């Protein structure tokens, strides 16, 4: 029971991270396509500036849960996906540095360099997170001795790359909608139009990924065994379609929430399909790491559950307060007197 509870919490934490940091990653990736001048670039920086580091708390939490609740899975993750995870880590570091350093020197080349770091530091994690999770869904080449028989290029298979493209498309639409929420005038219109243009691409990629999941992974086995679970992919499809309806209505806040629901339900679709596997093996199914054979001791899981039930609500309350505090739209006047972000 404790192992299943932590498996659910593990999946929820990853889905919340993708929902929140997803708009930062998407917005950073779209910087060169949405901003027409330095003022608009600074507005985009300010639109994500107060939130990005708080959003990454959920990444740390998800990683911490993996380490504490499923230490064997954590060890295998960082040995088999080491190159991909290190690339993600360095990209996220450069993204944070870019947000902090861009305004320190009033020089176009300096700003262009850090803008480039922001774009790469946003696009690369979006792509690689999708590649990593798609490969987990598909199964990794782990032999009977528990040794990973592959490298970074092993992960770049067609299904893995399709997962990466799916995550990129999800985050690009999500980021466009966030900018439409946080701005007004021409920049808002441009962001809304971008979301409308990207949505059909997302729909096609999502359909291809669903078909690939059916043929390349065993995720649907759990759904066939328990048809009630089909509510999760149904919710994903419904929220994706409703996102477009709201985009057409220019209901930006509602569209962003619908996009958030799409990201959460797609992530949970994969996690529920995995259960009880955390790291399935494509070479030796018996060597797969599950929520049961890789979990910490029951005492550890009980103590951690008490800690989680205490501190996770505090994190939620803090982030709710931050989003409420910076709920107003970002205008040109907001970036004329202060170089922050």
The predicted pLDDT at position 159 comes to 96
CA separation for the pair 181, 29 (Å, rounded): 17
331 three-class SS: coil
Q: What is the dihedral of CA 13, 19, 20, 24, to 10 degrees?
A: 130
**Do 270 and 133 touch, CB atoms closer than 8 A?**
yes
Helix ranges, 226-328 (H)? 231-248, 252-274, 298-325
Please, what is the Cα angle at 258 between 254 and 259, to 5 degrees? 115
Interval 187-213 mean pLDDT: 97
Q: Which of 223-232, 251-260, 304-313 has the lowest mean pLDDT?
A: 304-313
Is the pLDDT score of 337 beyond 90? no
CA separation for the pair 239, 170 (Å, rounded): 12
What are the pLDDT digits (tens) for 117-150?
999 999 999 999 999 999 999 999 988 888 888 8
CA separation for the pair 160, 134 (Å, rounded): 5
Interval 147-170 mean pLDDT: 92
**Do 294 and 10 touch, CB atoms closer than 8 A?**
no
CA separation for the pair 257, 56 (Å, rounded): 19
In which band, very low, low, confident or very high, does the pLDDT at 339 lie, cut at 50, 70 and 90?
low
Rounded mean pLDDT of the chain? Answer: 92
Q: CB-based contacts of 266: which residues, under 8 Å, 6+ apart?
A: 166, 170, 206, 236
**Do 329 and 42 touch, CB atoms closer than 8 A?**
no
What are the pLDDT digits (tens) for 269-320?
999 999 999 999 988 888 899 999 999 999 999 999 998 889 889 989 989 9
What separation, in Å, do the N-terminal and C-terminal C-alpha atoms of the chain show?
45
Domain boundaries, the chain: 2-335
Which has more pLDDT, 337 or 126?
126
What are the pLDDT digits (tens) for 66-83?
999 999 999 888 888 888
The predicted pLDDT at position 286 comes to 86
Q: Which residues pair with 140 in a beta bridge?
A: 281
**Residue 60 DSSP label:** H
């Amino acid at each position: 029971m404790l192992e299943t509870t932590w498996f659910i919490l593990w999946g929820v934490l990853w889905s919340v991270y993708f929902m929140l940091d997803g708009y930062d990653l998407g917005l950073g990736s779209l910087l060169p396509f949405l901003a027409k001048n330095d003022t608009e670039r600074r507005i985009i920086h300010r639109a994500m500036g107060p939130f990005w580091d708080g959003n990454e708390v959920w990444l740390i939490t998800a990683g911490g849960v993996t380490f504490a609740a499923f230490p064997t899975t954590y060890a295998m993750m960082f040995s088999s996906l080491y190159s991909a995870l290190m690339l993600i880590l360095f990209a996220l570091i450069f993204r944070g540095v870019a947000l902090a350093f861009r305004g320190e020197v009033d020089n176009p080349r300096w700003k262009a360099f850090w803008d480039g770091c922001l774009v790469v530091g946003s696009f690369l994690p979006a792509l690689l997170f999708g590649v990593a999770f798609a490969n987990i869904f598909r199964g990794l080449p782990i032999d009977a001795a528990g040794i990973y028989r592959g490298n970074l290029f092993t992960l770049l298979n067609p299904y893995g790359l399709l997962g990466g493209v799916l995550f990129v498309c999800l985050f690009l639409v999500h980021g466009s909608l966030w900018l439409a929420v946080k701005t007004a005038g021409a920049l808002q219109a441009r962001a809304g139009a971008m979301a409308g243009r990207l949505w059909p691409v997302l729909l096609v990629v999502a359909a291809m990924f669903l078909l690939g999941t059916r043929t390349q992974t065993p995720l649907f086995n759990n759904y066939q065994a328990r048809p009630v679970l089909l509510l999760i992919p149904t919710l994903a499809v419904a929220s994706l379609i409703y996102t477009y309806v709201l985009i057409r209505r220019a209901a930006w806040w509602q569209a962003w929430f619908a996009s958030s629901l799409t990201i959460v339900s797609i992530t949970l679709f994969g996690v529920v399909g995995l259960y009880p596997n955390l790291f399935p093996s494509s070479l030796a199914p018996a060597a797969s790491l599950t929520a049961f054979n890789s979990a910490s001791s029951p005492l550890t899981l009980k103590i951690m559950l008490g800690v989680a039930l205490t501190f996770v609500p505090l994190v939620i309350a803090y982030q709710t307060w931050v989003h409420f505090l910076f709920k107003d739209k970002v205008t040109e006047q907001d970036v004329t007197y202060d170089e922050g972000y």
